[in-house]
Amino acid sequence: MSAQLRGNVWAASAALLASSGTLLCCVLPAVMVALGAGAALAGLVGAVPQLVWLSEHKALVFGVAAVALALAGGLLWQARRLPCPADPALARSCRRLRRWSVGLYAIALAAFALGVAFAFVLPRV
């Protein structure tokens, strides 16, 4: 049981990592240009040219993030009613792992939604 909850934390963390890729590909450049930091963005792209690849392949980036979010959400949904151990210390650890998993997943969903807004919605407005 505890191993499954730890797995949920890792799944939520992986979803957060995948969702942060959507922020790097689409939100960061748009915000930097909007703030008048185009030169800083050019310097960043020169230092980290992988940002261009992420932007060119944003459909793939968002697809991977969506799959990671779906998998993590499914694992969290499955484990939502698992009983925690009777030992008070293990029960506290169990509840803490659940809170961490749900919190990381919520942050990942918010990052994904922000990325979708900047990559697909706002350019059409």
Residue pLDDT, tens place only, 45-66: 899 888 888 888 989 999 999 9
Q: Collect contacts of 60-64 with beta carbons under 8 A, ≥24 apart.
A: 61/21, 61/22, 61/25, 62/22, 62/112, 62/115, 62/116, 62/119, 64/18, 64/21
Q: Collect contacts of 116-120 with beta carbons under 8 A, ≥24 apart.
A: 116/22, 116/62, 118/26, 118/27, 118/30, 119/22, 119/25, 119/26, 119/58, 119/62
The pLDDT of 33-43, averaged and rounded, is: 89
**pLDDT tens for residues 81-118?**
888 888 899 889 888 988 888 898 999 999 999 999 98
The pLDDT value recorded for residue 30 is 85
The pLDDT value recorded for residue 12 is 81
* Other C-beta atoms lying within 10 Å of the C-beta of residue 48: 11
- Which pTM value belongs to this model? 0.81
- Angle between helix 58-79 and 2-22 (nearest 10): 160
